[in-house]
Amino acid sequence: MAGVTPDRDDGSVSFVNRRRALLAVGGMALTAGPARRLLLSQPARPASAHRAVPAHHATAAQPVLSYPRSRPLSYIHDTSQSIALTIDDGPDPVYTPQVLKLLQQYHVTATFSMIGVHVAAYPHLARAVHQAGHLIANHTWTHADLAGLPARRVQSELTRASDAIHAATGVPPALFRAPYGAWTAAVIRQCERMNMIPLDWSVDPRDWAKPGVRRIVRRIMTQTRPGSIILEHDGGGNRSQTVAALRIVLPRLLDEGYHFAVP
């Protein structure tokens, strides 16, 4: 959708101050920084809390395992070489099919965080993602910055997106990703009401800024660790650099012994 701003920090002082003014969610510390619009500190949990599912066993029909919903999930908790790939802001008629083709080529299962208005416009693409065995997460109806919005608007953004995803795929989303990482108490409460797990990320190569394929690749390869959740985009603008970078990093990550899981 034209005008949709990707998950990024505008770097302004007013933005940072506004984030710092947010109340802590469930006792979590909120900090603002140039690389993240909102970072919620999350203590490590034992690996036994969850075993990530290897990509070749993951299917869209498989239930998402339970996590505490009081804080967003930034890592998948596993002692193996599992990592997760998440693709945001689609579906897009140009780039979503290209990403799907790459994922199929390398037998990688990913999570697509979809914007409701895009799902409504391209329901066949949402169905294609679902039928290929990938998960679909709710990414709001309009990619709204939920920080500071009244609870009624937050509810509308989440419910309308879930309804669109359900209508297109037959499955309601069990994951929610807040645009810009803007987590608030109202957003967490709405996730709890809708039985959705809040999904964040731990590796942001800033592909939305189109910094060049080499830089995207370098950031992913240097920042990824076991349990990392990688953020990429198939919507919100020209994503040719993202597609080119994925063509490089997917085989490299597999060669390094990582295997892809769904959160």
Selected catalytic residue, list 77, 139, 233, 259: 233
Tokens of 179: 């645009």
Selected catalytic residue, list 7, 78, 88, 204: 88
DSSP for 102-120 reads HHHHTT---EEEE-HHHHH
| Alpha-carbon span 148 to 10, nearest angstrom | 17
Burial of 238 (0-12, 13-18, 19+ CB in 10 A): exposed
For the chain, the first-to-last Cα distance in angstroms comes to: 27
CA atoms within 13 A on the CB side of 67: 29
| E strand or H helix that includes residue 162 | helix 151-169
The answer to whether residue 88 is catalytic is: yes
The answer to whether residue 7 is catalytic is: no
Residues designated catalytic = 88, 233
